[in-house]
Structure 1
Amino acid sequence: MAPLHTTLLILAGALLLEAALGYPRPLYSAIRHPVVWMGALIARLDRALNHDTLPFARRKARGVLALALLLLACGVPAALARAVRLAALPLALAVPLLAVLAATLPAQRSLHEHVAAVAEGLERDGLEGGRAAVAMIVGRNPATLDEAGVARAAIESLAENFSDGVVAPAFWCGVLGLPGAVLYKAINTADSMIGHRTPRHAAFGWAAARLDDGVNLPASRLAALWLILAAAATRGADARGAWRAVRRDARHHRSPNAGWPEAAMAGALGLRLAGPRVYGNTRVEDGWMGDGRAGAGPADLRRALALYRHACLLQGGAVAALAALVLGLA
């Protein structure tokens, strides 16, 4: 296990690199992305192990096996990469190299770009432009959304993905190093692919969905905290409103985790988020987060992005400060 200050330095470097550069398109074109590799393995395990003819209990057991194989396939190479680099290279070289690897796992920049594209679509091309852009980041039926619905969907996605796409990889990297971030990303990818209550995946994806709920629990609370604190430094945001909404509404969300950052975002911006919505042809009833207005628009998306940027800066600064403190005490 690497010393804590080394792990925190790697994490601080990874967050800085990813915020500045994202995942370069030439690199994606050449080798794709680690999440794509994980997704390909999950799809193969799904095809090989998840048979419709098997009884529910056996499909559930096979889902546990698939998840174990996925974690083994992802965790062992990550642990070996960390161990070899720390053992074979000087620390001044090993830390930047591991930071480069870890920088592939959070999604600060890409999340910002995708949500900003929704604001740009609404501003440039109206409702149809917004619907086309939001369809890239949410699972609900965009044809059912008016302009306010498009804006709310994008803001909700920003809040939820801040938690599971930014804070959670950083949290598990800080706790367990590079292997922790890789294992988290594998679990989260599995949940997004097979963790749905559909006839095909209700049994096979049960383990992935339950484990994803567990590993996202600390990050969702931390994400809400970052948003509350960031609201105090964001013009037009309300930190007290964010705190009130989290205390009152977070537990009423149908997800055990998504309600925390969504409530914080709603309260900070004076909006109402979540509530009833349509996925495909299915209407999902859910609690409202926040007690503000439901009539969001492109300007609210821009405010949400400003709040998000400040929350990311706050998290990165906290990691760097903690790394410096631990290094000073070492």
Structure 2
Amino acid sequence: MVLFLATLIDRVLGDPDWLWRRWPHPVVLFGVLIGAADRGLNRATFGFALRRALGVLAILLLLALAIAAGLAIQRLFAGFGWAGLVLEAVVASLFLARKSLGDHVLAVKRALEEGGLGPGRQAVSMIVGRDPEQLDEAGVCRAAIESLAENASDGVVAPWMALALFGLPGLLAYKMVNTADSMIGHRSKRHLAFGWGAARLDDLLNLVPARLTALLFAAVAALKPGQGAGARALKVAWRDAPSHRSPNAGWPEAAMAGALGLSLGGPRRYGALVVEAPCLGAEGRREAAPADIGAALRLFGFAMDALLLLSLGLLLVIALVRYI
């Protein structure tokens, strides 16, 4: 019941901006804890091996804290009957990002269509880390589509799976690790050692969700009659995903590229740093347009609706088993 309700709430309501302008989002609180661990344990005077060990210890402690918080919330709501299930579902929905992700990517499309390149760059800067001033319109469109595909996995499918398999404690644990990876998991001089544990654990937790997301994209693309988009999505994902710098992000991005007939990826600029990366779906079009963002959003929406149907199916199966 909690899984279905949380998925439905996230689809319909998402993250209300008016609420988070007044109160900190739970993920922000996770960030405060991760930042405190980083400042307290990741000291330049420590050697590489010690910083790596302390980073592993930090992520394990943060993971334990997240699981304990999930168990405490479950126990708190357990005495409220059906109302408790609804409250738990509301809390769980805060950690699913289907509607908010779609809204942010849609904002890029609308900015390009209504205001041109400048507003489009500003809108895409809200969802990507690369330098938007170096992007032309096609680059802005590709960046938005790539972000949509990657975050469909770690922002929606992975937390959904964590909730389905391990309940609220599993969901909070996943979000703690994923937040830590985004904060300290990159290969900067400061975090190469300390963030190693968070980065490797995040890679492990996303192995299955990333590939499931690619399959969902391919399945939805296959529903288009006579275009072969589903088979193309699978082909591009299988061929190109292993060449991505991430062991997971390449799968949904490559599947999206194949499904839309686009070429995604390629070199990216982060400030003064240029990161060389292979193209995903090199045979596809590089000249992406706002209409392609719309097509990506439709593909994403139908794929994420499949999770809602799966949630409903699981609920019906459980109800049937209990009835029998």
| TM-score interval, normalised by the smaller of the two chains | over 0.9
- Would you say how many aligned residue pairs link Structure 1 and Structure 2? 320
Contact 2:105 2:144 in 1 (8 A): yes
Q: What letter matches 1:115 in structure 2?
A: V
- SS at 1:283 equivalent: strand
Aligned to 2:229: 238
Give 1:141-290 correspondences, 5 Å limit: 141-233=131-223, 238-290=229-281
Q: What letter matches 1:13 in structure 2?
A: L
Aligned to 1:69: 61
Cα displacement (A) at 1:31: 2.1
Cα displacement (A) at 1:327: 2.2
Change (3 A) 1:70 1:85: same
Give identity over the alignment, percent: 49
Cα displacement (A) at 1:329: 1.9
Aligned to 1:312: 304
Cα displacement (A) at 1:199: 0.6
* Aligned partner of 2:50 among 49, 54, 58: 58
Cα displacement (A) at 1:111: 0.4
Comparing 250-259 with 19-28, which one deviates more in the overlay?
19-28
Let me know the Cα RMSD of the aligned residues: 1.4
Tell me the alpha carbon deviations over residues 9-49 of structure 1, each in whole angstroms, 9 at most, x when there is no partner.
21111010011111222321332111100011111111111
Cα displacement (A) at 1:69: 2.2
Gaps of 5+ in 2: none
Cα displacement (A) at 1:262: 0.5
Query: Is the counterpart of residue 110 in structure 1 residue 100 in structure 2?
Result: yes
Tell me the alpha carbon deviations over residues 47-98 of structure 1, each in whole angstroms, 9 at most, x when there is no partner.
1111111111111111112212211222201112113423x232x3332121
TM-score, normalised with respect to structure 1: 0.93
- SS at 2:116 equivalent: helix
Cα displacement (A) at 1:306: 0.7
Cα displacement (A) at 1:177: 0.4
Aligned to 1:122: 112
| Partners of 1:274 and 1:128 in 2: CA distance | 22
Contact 1:234 1:310 in 2 (8 A): no
Give 1:132-143 correspondences, 5 Å limit: 132-143=122-133
Give 1:85-104 correspondences, 5 Å limit: 85-86=77-78, 88-90=79-81, 92-104=82-94
- SS at 1:31 equivalent: coil
Contact 2:7 2:311 in 1 (8 A): no
| Partners of 2:34 and 2:59 in 1: CA distance | 8
- SS at 2:252 equivalent: helix
Gaps of 5+ in 1: 1-8
Q: What letter matches 1:249 in structure 2?
A: D
Cα displacement (A) at 1:237: 8.2
Q: What letter matches 1:26 in structure 2?
A: W
Aligned to 1:37: 29
